[in-house]
Amino acid sequence: MGKYHVTNYEQMSFDDFNQPSGLPIDRDNRWVVRADNIPWHDLEKQYALVFTSNRGPKPLPFRLVFGALMIQQLLELTDEETLEQIKENPYLQYFVGQSGYVYQRPFSSSTLSRARQRIGDDEVLAMVDQIEEMMIAKGVTSKIGKRHQ
């Protein structure tokens, strides 16, 4: 895999998210609120350390990959179901940093599996737990998944 380069990051605002006309989107949706409270750029700097080789294709953006892994962990989904949920849900597409809603998977299930292996299952779980603790500290208490029941 190619070396990961941290992007010149600018947080996309909910108002910039391009959704199909007529599709009502709620800025108070739990995934929108959560996405807006995650320090994506700081986490991306840690992610860049995993990709030190210049060989292979350029890695996918951190928010896209880790956002999908986080959705998978919080909702306890398979790789296939995670990508189907993202394909069907504009809120999840916003959460993973898409610029607008498109009815397609952001990448293949094998890419998700490779990303999880590359980062490490334990590291993914630790990062998700760390973000969940940060959400609680910020007062973002929207319940997502079985972990919050």
Residue with tokens 């299952």: 121
- 10 Å CB burial of residue 71 (0-12, 13-18, 19+) is buried
* pLDDT the model gives residue 139: 86
Q: Where are the domains of the chain?
A: 14-138
Highest mean pLDDT range out of 1-5, 40-44, 101-105? Answer: 101-105
Percent of the chain residues topping a pLDDT of 70: 73
Of 102, 116, 94, 99, the closest CA to residue 38 belongs to: 94
* pLDDT the model gives residue 118: 82
Per residue in 59-111, pLDDT (tens digit) is: 788 899 999 999 999 999 999 999 999 999 999 999 999 988 899 999 999 99
User: Can you read off the two tokens belonging to residue 69?
Assistant: 């892994």
**3-state SS assignment for residue 52:** coil
- Distances in whole angstroms, Cα of residue 63 to Cα of each of 24, 99, 117: 24, 12, 17
Cα–Cα distance between 140 and 143 in angstroms, integer? 9
How far out from the chain centre does Cα 58 lie?
18
